[in-house]
Amino acid sequence: MSASSAVPPTRRVVRPSITISRLLIYFCSVLIVIWSVGPFLWQLSTSLQLDRNLIGDQPSLLPIPICFDHFVNIFVAKSFQRYIFNSLVVAGVSTILCLVIGAVAAYALARLDIRGKFGVLGFVLAVSMFPQIAVVAPLYVLASNLGWLDTYRVLIVVYLALGLPFVIWVLFGHFRTIPTTLDEAARLDGARPLTIFFRIIVPIALPGIVTTGLLSFIAAWNEFMFALAFTSDINRQTVPVGIANFTDLHYVPWGDIAAASVVVTFPLVALVLIFQRNIISGITGGAVKE
Amino acid sequence: MPVARTITQVHVESGTRFPRWRPGAWLLLVPALSAIGAVSVYPVLLGLWLSFRNTTLSSPDDAFIGVSNYQQLFADGQFWNAWGHTIEFTGASTLLETIIGLGMALVLTERFLGRGIVRAAMLIPWAIPTVVTSKMFGWLFDGQHGLVNYLARLCGLIHTNINWYGSPEFALPTIVIADVWKTTPFMALLLLAGLQTIPRSLTEAASIDGANPWQQFWMVRFPLLAPSLLIAAMFRALDAFRIFDLVYVLTGGGPADSTEVLSTLTYKNLFSALQFGYGSALSTIMFLTEILIAVGFGVFLLKRFREVKL
């Protein structure tokens, strides 16, 4: 692509160099895909290999012979399903609450006449940047006084509050794009604000609400520090804590760890690939175009 | 009811977009604001209060001791050690992620077959739980059987295995690599959003005027992208500064404290030593540093915007 200033950039002159830059772009995009997918594929392959192959002199990239021992092991010997159940409860309930409470707040901020709405939005954004380590100790004291340690409640409430700033900001953006004439028409028909919200705004913004919910579910599913600090019992510990505890002092069960990683990551990867268009516009504020 | 309806109608007819029902509208914010207040704002204040006390969960000590915790902290070698690592990690990861992310974003602004697949694949590292990322890189960079050592030996880059995160000199770089892997594609998608707001006609005009791609980038795209780049880097730096999961799971701060960062040091003071007073002083210092980073970037951005306007 060297259109020198002396040569007018006609199609004939530019074409050969465009082919080279095409090749370069394809080369780079292959590198990006290997970067993004490679480590996960290696984890998948590891989860299907025999332990003695994993610690052999020469690693084999493909799982030959294939074995499912590690998957059996994590569910039978390590009760991994218990962590999955706990994570589903905590992430699921906190996401639903987060969506309901966050959507109502975002609606009020985007569509109703509230004095100081930008103050509220700025405050919410500032709170989302608090380092979480600064609240974990005081919350531990509060939770312990309430007898909430080792409960689902404490994690649900914490993830609800951590997810709210994101949900409010994203849904605020979504709701602002819906024409206000719809509200006005409904109001002429005598609808109250909450009726307008549930009957008009929510159905129109549903795709955006679902994506936002997916993103806050992923955040809650992946959270580690609070789960580590507030739970000490397998009956309440979530998946990240379970995987972190897979190690013992004498032997690292890499195969089992890989199997557990695949089990908890596979649904996320599938969801992300299905909803990728919506997710990208969700995290970039709708700015990435086709 | 009829009265209320009439009032609403009057407002609508007189062109007011909203019914004047402010207390009602504020009521809709109450659940969200009270959750945020209870879980974020109140604990931060409580943490500040704890940082002036000698509260220890393993003993009945719980008295006001003024700024002693802070005095102890500034004289604490472990604190400065963790401080240094945190700054190194934040600087290195933010810089690498911004530069490589920008490169990826520039590739993705071009139209080519399969661009959607590349973009979808880039979401995978972001979606994987950080704990899983730690374990994944623990296995990839394993000192004995890791794939990275094997491939590096195969290419002739090294002759004997490197004990990556098991040796003080390579442990922090390994953590930076893991973080760069996980976060760069996300950074690239953010920068791609910024790049796409720059009209293609500008680079086309520059190209007609004879600018080569390098000049097109530095003289047209880069100045226009700079604000988004700075904002993305700021959020990244704020996030990198509080790194916890990756370090805690991969090395636990070791070997020989060579990867101890402020979050892991604070966590250990809180939940291993049960020093809630001292640990809170540590977390308060972290909080203040985050504010400084944000204000620093903010001032820089404001200055830039003013210059552009003038």
> What ipTM was assigned to the predicted interfaces of this complex?
0.85
Give residues with Cβ within 8 angstroms of B181, minimum separation 6. Answer: A35, A39, B125, B133, B137
DSSP B143-204: TTT-HHHHHHHHTTS-SS---TTTSHHHHHHHHHHHHHHHHHHHHHHHHHHHHHTS-HHHHH
A41-56: pLDDT as tens digits: 999 999 999 888 887 7
Q: How far apart are CA B305 and CA B139, in angstroms?
A: 46
One-letter amino acid at B88 equals: E
- Dihedral angle over CA of A276, A278, A281, A285, nearest 10: -140
Among the ranges given (A19-23, B102-106, B233-237), the one the predictor scored with the smallest mean pLDDT = A19-23
Average pLDDT of the residues in A225-245: 92
Pairs of CB atoms within 8 A across A/B? 304
Between A136, A141, A284, which is nearest B193 by CB? A284
B251-264: pLDDT as tens digits: 988 798 999 999 99
pLDDT at residue B139 in the model: 92
B150-192: pLDDT as tens digits: 899 889 888 888 888 988 889 999 999 999 999 999 899 888 8
B29-74: pLDDT as tens digits: 999 999 999 999 999 999 999 999 988 888 887 888 888 889 998 9
pLDDT at B278 over 50: yes
Between B9, B24, B139, which is nearest A258 by CB? B139
Instruction: Provide, as residue numbers in chain B, all residues whose Cβ is less than 8 Å from the Cβ of A111.
Output: 18
pLDDT at B7 over 70: no
Between B25, B114, B212, which is nearest A108 by CB? B25
- pLDDT band at residue B20 using 50, 70 and 90 as cut-offs: low
Query: B287, A54: Cβ pair inside 8 Å?
Result: no
B149: contact with A, CB 8 A cutoff: no
Query: B39, A104: Cβ pair inside 8 Å?
Result: no
pLDDT at residue B176 in the model: 96
Question: Of residues B165 and A252, which shows the higher confidence score?
Answer: B165
Give residues with Cβ within 8 angstroms of B273, minimum separation 6. Answer: B279
A91-104: pLDDT as tens digits: 999 999 999 999 99
- pLDDT band at residue A178 using 50, 70 and 90 as cut-offs: confident
The reported pTM is 0.86
pLDDT at A12 over 70: no
